[in-house]
Amino acid sequence: MLIIFDVEGVLLNAEYLPVLAQKLGPVKEKEIWDITKQGIRGEIDWEEGLIMRVNALRGTSFEDAKYIADNLEIMPGARKLCYSLKKAGWKMIAISGGFTIITDKLKDELYLDKIYSNELIFKDGKLDGVKINVSSDKSLGVKSIIKEWGTKKEDIVVVVDGANDLKLFDIAGYTVGFCPVDIVKQRADATIEIRDLSILLSLLEKKFGKTIETQL
């Protein structure tokens, strides 16, 4: 079995760029949140919105960017869920429209097999741009590893929150919206409305009929 997670709003209980924008004051924070929400709802092109947000934060120090990244809260229940799935022999992938600065630490902390994300570019210690590795079609980022592992569609679970993640639904046999926007809620096979990822364990046991060890 393979499970694929979005990161911000799913494995992390935060959206990184809006939190980083708080350093620059309420006007900048609102600007970044507005663009972020438009992207999550699917109202603007994701790549375009990402570049707009990064450009709006250009000049932010690497120290500030790293401090915020290191202190983002992991989603309640995420450690329990991922530990339990790892013990049960599941493969786990995370794919993010966010950045390596926030995702690198999750690979070890949450026992992930693979993690894909974009990369912030710093020049002379200041934020200068972004290298996009993960497009708005996140399914493109994971298809090669799915093929390499020989995983069938019916053995793939996807857990997301935003409209920008919906292309992942096309490659999954079971789809879960986690505190999702309306369009994800409408299309998902199941929805979790409480910010506790461990709730997913009971859904997976019900769907696949397998007991999953839950002891940390």
Q: Kindly give the pairing relationship between strand 156-160 and strand 91-99.
A: unpaired
Q: List the pLDDT tens digit at each of the 216 positions of the chain.
A: 999 999 999 999 998 998 898 888 888 888 888 888 887 777 888 888 889 899 999 999 999 999 999 999 999 999 999 999 999 999 999 999 899 999 998 998 999 999 999 999 999 999 999 999 998 889 998 999 999 999 999 999 999 998 889 999 999 999 999 999 999 999 999 999 999 999 999 999 998 876 565 544
Torsion angle, CA of 188/194/198/201, rounded to 10 degrees? -40
